[in-house]
Chain A
Amino acid sequence: MIPYPASGLKMLAERVLGTVVPALGSKYAMSDTAMLAMLMVALADEMESGVARRLQDIEAMADLFQVGREAGLDIAPTESIATGQQTLSLVNEIHDAMTAQLITLHALVEASDDYRELNLAVWRYLQANAERHSLVL
């Protein structure tokens, strides 16, 4: 059998909530374990679509950097990700590096009216990023 980790993890979380939590002896252990199970469900979702969400971010940030370069800003080239390398940890690493670069870009463009549109585009990205990664437990 090739397991489906996200649905497997969700089923395990349901089992914890349905059978383990009610059998626990203290309110503290019940609350702590129920929260663990809810976090397992959120992690399952992250396993399923976390890479895709980060790749969307990466593509959007690369577009912002390109606009910055065309506006004459000195922005280093960004690393590309080849198909087949898309593990969550690798995508996280590249996402972090690009986010650090985005912070530098944002500080630059907000300081000058010459880059008003790019500044707005960065804010638009931050809002889209928050929506994409919103967590509902």
Chain B
Amino acid sequence: MTQPTLEDVRREVATYLADKWQASVAVVAIEQIFGGASRETYLLQLDVDGASRGVVLRRDPPSSLIDTERSLEYGAYAAIYPTSIPVPEPLFLENDASILGAPFSIMGEVANAISDVAVLSADGRQRIGLQKWQLLGKLAAMDPIELGFDDVCRIPELERCAAEQLAYWRSVIETDEIHPQPVAAAALRWLEQNLPAPAQKLAVVHGDYRSGNFLFEPEGGITAILDWEMCHLGDPMEDLAWSLDPLWCWGVPDLAGNLLPYDQAISIWEQASGLILNRRDFYWWRVFAAVKGLAIWISSSEDFHNGAGKQSILAYAGWAMTDRQNRILLDYLSPLSTHQFGGPRL
């Protein structure tokens, strides 16, 4: 089986879960979710021995925006699930590609929740924004070793967190660029010449913590943090900077992640994490976040161009997101910048 149809997924998942749970399992409804470009994502409604239950299936695609290990993502869910950071319940990780043509994982559904913050009222933005950066601060404050992340991720030295991340994303750009990238090249030179101080502490870095990657109830709160496939151990400022990248606030330049003013988001994070932001170092992480984003979009462009992935989202990301991320970097680094994008500067 190369690319399963919805009917294939329905049939194979029912058989798989019946075997795992030793129960009668029928798939009542199945829907593929658009936009989950790092994994093919399906929402399935099940009947398990007469009881209703929803699950989410994440299957490795032939190509992805983010080339990551599924076991890392699943391991992160398993480590975080028992904590006060809400994540979907991890159920099964299946590395046998013969079942669905590729490895997959299955999580519990987080019902009655959405991910689009654009629907929120002003009060809702405040409420969800407060929770969003409180949760990120809590994650930063946790001890990754106590959580068991030393079984899931490599442990970097505090002095090497920034340099290692920079080396990794530089290699992605250099390997995947299909055109020379003068803005990325200038930014990489700047990052190399201005490395930050060692991390204040070692933290679990989600790696893609942004509006759109968490679920919430519009009248309630955040119910699940999703998409841990870029999770690693490192400097907690990395996540904060990524969450504040102007890429995630289309049309509302003054609100980080379309939710809160930048200074308020930072203040909430500082209070929850117990960490104090060093402005100079944090600026390095902001430039880094934009370069990392650019690397991901360049990589998706390469996948689409070379035919490894044919999803329209790869072409969109490789074109539109590269365009916007280049503008963000120019806004940060050009001596001629008029600073159109929000967030703290040097």
Which A residues fall within an 8 A CB radius of B? 26-28, 31-33, 35-36, 38-39, 42, 92, 95-96, 99-100, 102-103, 106-107, 110, 119-120, 123-124, 126-127, 130, 133-135, 137
Q: Is the pair A124, B336 in contact by a Cβ cutoff of 8 Å?
A: yes
Q: Is the pair B31, A28 in contact by a Cβ cutoff of 8 Å?
A: yes
**CB nearest neighbor in B for A42:** B319
- If the complex has contacts A32-B312, A106-B186, A130-B326, are A27 and B31 also in contact, measured as CB distance less than 8 A? yes
Q: Is the pair B180, A35 in contact by a Cβ cutoff of 8 Å?
A: no
Of B33, B312, B316, B330, the contact of A126 (CB 8 Å cutoff): B330
Q: CB of B189 within 8 A of chain A? A: yes
**CB nearest neighbor in A for B36:** A28
Q: Is the pair A127, B316 in contact by a Cβ cutoff of 8 Å?
A: no
Q: Is the pair A100, B336 in contact by a Cβ cutoff of 8 Å?
A: no
With a cutoff of 8 Å between Cβ atoms, the chain B residues found around residue A33 in the complex are 312
- If the complex has contacts A32-B311, A96-B179, are A127 and B185 also in contact, measured as CB distance less than 8 A? no
Q: Is the pair A99, B312 in contact by a Cβ cutoff of 8 Å?
A: no
Mark interface residues in B21-53 (1 if CB within 8 Å of A CB, else 0): 000000000011111000000000000000000
- If the complex has contacts A107-B185, A107-B189, A120-B335, are A134 and B323 also in contact, measured as CB distance less than 8 A? yes
**B64-96, CB < 8 A from A:** none
The B contact surface, by secondary structure, is helix
**CB nearest neighbor in B for A61:** B182
Roughly how many angstroms separate A35 CA and B336 CA in the complex, as a whole number?
Answer: 34
Q: Is the pair A130, B312 in contact by a Cβ cutoff of 8 Å?
A: no
Roughly how many angstroms separate A84 CA and B34 CA in the complex, as a whole number?
Answer: 44
With a cutoff of 8 Å between Cβ atoms, the chain B residues found around residue A35 in the complex are 312-313, 316
26 contacts between A and B (CB under 8 A): A28-B31, A28-B32, A31-B34, A31-B35, A32-B312, A35-B313, A36-B312, A39-B312, A92-B179, A99-B179, A99-B182, A103-B180, A103-B182, A103-B186, A106-B182, A119-B335, A123-B330, A123-B336, A124-B336, A126-B183, A126-B330, A130-B183, A130-B323, A130-B326, A135-B319, A137-B320
- In the assembled complex, how far is the CB of residue B330 from the closest CB belonging to chain A, in whole angstroms? 6
Mark interface residues in B168-196 (1 if CB within 8 Å of A CB, else 0): 00000000000110110110010000000
**CB nearest neighbor in B for A125:** B182
Mark interface residues in B297-316 (1 if CB within 8 Å of A CB, else 0): 00000000000000111011
Q: Is the pair A130, B180 in contact by a Cβ cutoff of 8 Å?
A: no
Q: CB of B334 within 8 A of chain A? A: yes
Roughly how many angstroms separate A96 CA and B182 CA in the complex, as a whole number?
Answer: 10
With a cutoff of 8 Å between Cβ atoms, the chain B residues found around residue A120 in the complex are 335-336
- In the assembled complex, how far is the CB of residue B171 from the closest CB belonging to chain A, in whole angstroms? 17
With a cutoff of 8 Å between Cβ atoms, the chain B residues found around residue A103 in the complex are 180, 182, 185-186
Roughly how many angstroms separate A110 CA and B185 CA in the complex, as a whole number?
Answer: 12
